[in-house]
Structure 1
Amino acid sequence: MTKVLLTGASGLLGGNILKHALANKTLDILPTRLGGDFSVPEAFRGDKEILPLDIRSQTWLWNIISQWKPEVIIHTAALSEPGACEWQRETAEAINTRAVKFIADLCEHFGIRLIFISTDLVFDGTKGDYLETDPPNPLNFYAETKCRAEEIVASSLHDYVILRTSLLLGASPQSLRSLDERLKADGEAGKTMTFFTDEYRNPIAASVLADITLKLASGNNRSVTGLFHAAGKDKVSRFELGEKLCQKYGISRQFYKGARQDEVTLSVPRPKDTSLISDALLTVMNFPMPSLDEMITALP
């Protein structure tokens, strides 16, 4: 069995990775989380205990990694809300960048494979259809921290995978972490929602990205290394995505509208088109990416 240490097990992607890993008899997973009072539902964790792990503590990381000796670390934990990162810069830097340096150093020391989850927001959105060879140009502090973390991983390790991804859909352990969960809740509450007509992304179901991530942790794909884009194959505007989700959940057209970014006051700068081309990863893994409509149909 491949021993995998997972950070961020209470998050949207981390929770889905944990759920998928429990069904994979070739993996022995140790799930961890930063802390807090929230209890991860049994539907995601099974009978697994989720250990507390403050990734900001080099000593704490050393103790768990040196004792458990994982072969792979999947690092999903992050402060990922751009607004929170903008106003809590020290915390964002500690969690999103310095902790990655600690983890990368330990991976190098113990010979551990690292799979690091990054974001399409490292791009400024002026071009769209970004390839892995396109230079990043982050517009907000969250994206800056992730960009620096990417550089740390790539410069420190040989056995690593960086996955830049996009908007995640699907069920989360905390119920309101994904876009569709929040949209459904707002729709049920009768709130009017605004979706940008000029912001483009490549949404992907968290369960699909979890499958990709775990396939990179064991088996034939253990030899895959480097930086890759891992997002859905369908490029849509926020409005197009919002409309598809509203139709799925039976939310009336009167409860949502479209707007351009320049018609709304933004709390932090937002790139307009961070669409990603993920052909390189899908080809090397021979992975059949489902369409956006297929992923939406499969949502709870």
Structure 2
Amino acid sequence: MKRLLITGISGFLGLHICQLSKGEWTVYGTCFSNLINSPGINTIKVDLTNFPELKQLFQDIKPDAVIHTAAQSNPNFCQIHPQETEVINVIASGNIAGLCADYGIPCVFTSTDLVFNGLNPPYRETDPVSPISYYGEQKVRAENIMLTRYPRTAICRMPLMFGQATPTATSFIQPFIDILQAGGELKLFVDEFRTPVSGTTAAKGLLLALDKIQGYLHLGGKERISRYEFGRLLVDVLQLPKAGLNSCRQTEVKMAAPRPSDVSLDSSKAFALGYNPPSLPEELEVLRGRL
């Protein structure tokens, strides 16, 4: 089988891609601080910010394709530590694209819906970027550098993602579930909108992009929903205690990174290629069966 290199498999999305692809590919996954031991995955500890190590990784594996998910993806952390996170989010991404160009292999990069400012949704691939956080700015720079070094790169802008926790990572819903089950209060925004998908659905979209895309692709879901409405849906489908679920507005919560109000993605281009996210109730029903 061909060799697929996936960076950042200790992250939520990375391991989902591994699980989905290991039947069709010989999978190699990189970790740095949190090591993964999973059947069918060849795990390699590597510092992606160290270019000699990165170059040696490519020489050793000789991958036939790369999906680059490794990043510091916490916007608040990036806002507070811009120089520290620049190295992995921007510089390492450019180096990976350069190496993929040297090997002439498909390269998929996971960007974010946070490259937009939230004022003119839904966003298509052709819409101008306008990030309002440092994390969003880093992803825009990474997109530009990667496409400059290797125009065949697929830049996949990812939405909010949820799903079953992995051994080393959770999605945004795990704290929600824990708080409600413990009888705590959970406040969610009524004025922040996204187009979420499960980690499994997102992984399917990225594998689709390996074969079919050069340039930009949006991999959002089919439903635009607020954080609060998603929370209500989560409570209903997973049969969680609902007494603690309350609404709030973005202005009521102080955070380091500014948050756009609506970065809903128009993913018509991906849908036309065969990307077919299930409805959110269907996605959550699948999750309920695994909890």
Q: TM-score, normalised by structure 1?
A: 0.91
1:135-169 Cα offsets, whole Å, 9 max, x none, are 11111111111110011122221322111011111
Aligned residue in 1 for 2:84: 91
Name the amino acid aligned to 1:27.
W
User: Deviations for 1:1-52, whole angstroms, at most 9, x for unmatched residues?
Assistant: 2211110111111010011112x2x31111111x22x443x6xx21434111
Alignment of 1:159-170 (within 5 A): 159-170=152-163
Picking from 247, 265, 274, the partner of 1:286 is 274
The question of 1:203 aligning with 2:191 is answered no
How far has the Cα of 1:119 moved from its partner?
0.3
How do residues 1-300 of structure 1 correspond to structure 2 at under 5 angstroms?
A: 1-22=1-22, 24=23, 26-33=24-31, 35-36=32-33, 38-40=34-36, 45-174=38-167, 177-217=170-210, 222-283=211-272, 285-299=273-287, 300=290
- Residue 253 of structure 1 deviates from its aligned partner by 2.6
Q: Deviations over 1:99-125 (max 9, x none)?
A: 011111111112121100000000000
2: CA distance, partners of 1:191 / 1:39: 32
Q: Which ranges of structure 2 fall in alignment gaps of 5 or more residues?
A: none
Query: TM-score, normalized by length of structure 2?
Result: 0.94
* Structure 1: gaps spanning 5 or more residues: none
Check conservation: 1:197, 1:240, Cα contact below 8 A: yes
8 Å contact 2:208–2:275 — kept in the other structure? no
Secondary structure (helix, strand or coil) at the match of 1:62 reads: helix
The answer as to whether partners of 2:3 and 2:27 remain within 8 angstroms in 1 is yes
Residue 189 (structure 1) shift: 2.4
* Alignment partners' CA distance in 1, 2:67 and 2:261: 29
Distance 1:162 1:80 in 2: 16
Report the CA distance shift for 1:47/1:27 in structure 2 as closer, same or farther (over 3 A).
closer
* Equivalent residues, number: 288
Q: Identity rate of aligned residues, in percent? A: 32
Distance in 1 (alpha carbons) for counterparts of 2:270 and 2:97: 22
Q: Structure 1 169/230 Cα, relative in aligned 2: closer, same or farther at 3 Å?
A: same
- Cα distance, 1:31–1:233 mapped onto 2, change above 3 Å: same
In 2, Cα distance between equivalents of 1:95 and 1:132: 24
For residues 42 and 61 of structure 2, what CA distance do their matches in structure 1 show?
Answer: 14
Distance, in Å, in 1 between the alignment partners of 2:253 and 2:170 is: 23
Q: Is contact 1:129-1:277 (8 Å) kept? A: yes
Equivalent position SS for 2:200: helix
